[in-house]
Amino acid sequence: MASLPPIGLPKGATGEGAFDPRAEDRDRPLFDYLLRLGDDSLILGQRLGEWCGHAPSVEVDLSLANIALDLIGQATHFLNHAGAVEGRGRDGDALAFHRDVLDFRNCLLVEQPNGDFAQTMARQFLFSTWQKLLFERLTTSKDETIAAVAAKAVKEVAYHEELSAEWVIRLGDGTEESRRRMIDGLDWNWRFVPELFEMDVVAREMAERGIGADVTAFRADYDRKIRAVLEQAGLEAPKDQRPILGGRDGHHSEHLGHILCTLQFLPRTYPEATW
């Protein structure tokens, strides 16, 4: 298995923040894995927050805001834990607001534009169905913090999955226009699904250590759930496209930079501000 570089400065470097291989609380694979979990929720939560005041109805506006809050809460726990594992004095806020775009490890799906309401619901459905299956397995993680966060979050994500699935069915089986928009939304987001099931060095090590989950093990369950909802909506799954990967390695679309401009503006402009 390929080794990962230590957190901190390059080998031989000195100074504040330099990596100390004797520090037992510094675990690069675990740190990266926690960033993935936290960044997924953080970026999608920020995306959904863009709907506040713009959703089709007050009820939907509140639903999307509540989902966004759930996701931001998950991100806070995962990123705080990542900071503790890193051992360099950064908490969840520092990791959220003071990393550059190349340091984010979210999947590409969550940073995609909201588009219209159908595209947002298609994205939410594809992601939440996957996230629920993931969190169900993380409830038995050997990392007690991950297991505790997943146990609470899986109940929240069950609602996210249910709400988005209902909208996929409602729009897909609705008017000619709503059906067309849902088809377009699914088609836009479909190419980013394969990345959710990639098992790279970090993911494999976390699964082998009993901390993370082997996402390939629930791909069949995921496909079955997606097909069942699409059948109710009277829709066919989009044709397979060339997968677009790279988010887990920090290679993002242009959309993430625009998200971070909004997300990080205030803390970077007033770094000493407190509430």
Average pLDDT over residues 36-53: 97
DSSP 173-221: TS-HHHHHHHHHHHHHHHTTHHHHT---HHHHHHHHTTSS--GGGGHHH
Kindly report the average pLDDT of the chain as a whole number: 91
pTM value is 0.90
Q: Tell me if 20 is assigned to some domain.
A: no
Torsion angle of C-alpha atoms 176, 177, 183, 187, degrees rounded to 10: 150
249, pLDDT greater than 60: yes
Average pLDDT over residues 56-83: 96
Give the pLDDT band (50/70/90) at residue 2: very low
11, pLDDT greater than 70: no
Q: Tell me if 11 is assigned to some domain.
A: no
For residue 169, the model assigns a pLDDT of 98
**The domain containing residue 198 runs over which residues?**
28-269
Q: What is the length of the chain?
A: 275
Q: Tell me if 117 is assigned to some domain.
A: yes
For residue 23, the model assigns a pLDDT of 39
Q: Which whole-number Å values give the CA distances from 73 to 40, 163, 243, in the listed order?
A: 12, 19, 30
Q: Which residues contact 58 (CB under 8 A, 6 or more apart)?
A: none
Residue 234 region by backbone torsions, left for phi larger than 0, else alpha for psi between -120 and 50, else beta: left
233, pLDDT greater than 80: yes
Q: Tell me if 195 is assigned to some domain.
A: yes
**Residue pair 143/30 in contact by the 8 Å Cβ criterion:** yes
Q: Identify which of 103, 87, 82 has the alpha carbon closest to the alpha carbon of residue 37.
A: 82
CA 98 to CA 90: how far, in whole Å? 10
For residue 79, the model assigns a pLDDT of 98
Q: Tell me if 13 is assigned to some domain.
A: no
Helix axes 28-49, 254-263, angle to 10 degrees: 80
Q: Tell me if 98 is assigned to some domain.
A: yes
CA 35 to CA 32: how far, in whole Å? 5
**Residue pair 199/216 in contact by the 8 Å Cβ criterion:** yes
Q: Which helix (H) or strand (E) holds 51?
A: none
Give the pLDDT band (50/70/90) at residue 48: very high
Percent of the chain's residues with pLDDT above 90: 85
* Rg value, the chain, Cα: 19
State the CATH number of the domain containing residue 119. 1.20.1260.10
User: 132-189: per-residue pLDDT in tens?
Assistant: 999 999 999 999 999 999 999 999 999 999 999 999 999 999 999 999 999 999 999 9
Q: Tell me if 16 is assigned to some domain.
A: no
12, pLDDT greater than 50: no
Q: Tell me if 59 is assigned to some domain.
A: yes
**Residue pair 204/138 in contact by the 8 Å Cβ criterion:** no
Q: Identify which of 133, 222, 126 has the alpha carbon closest to the alpha carbon of residue 168.
A: 126
How many distinct structural domains can be found in the chain?
A: 1
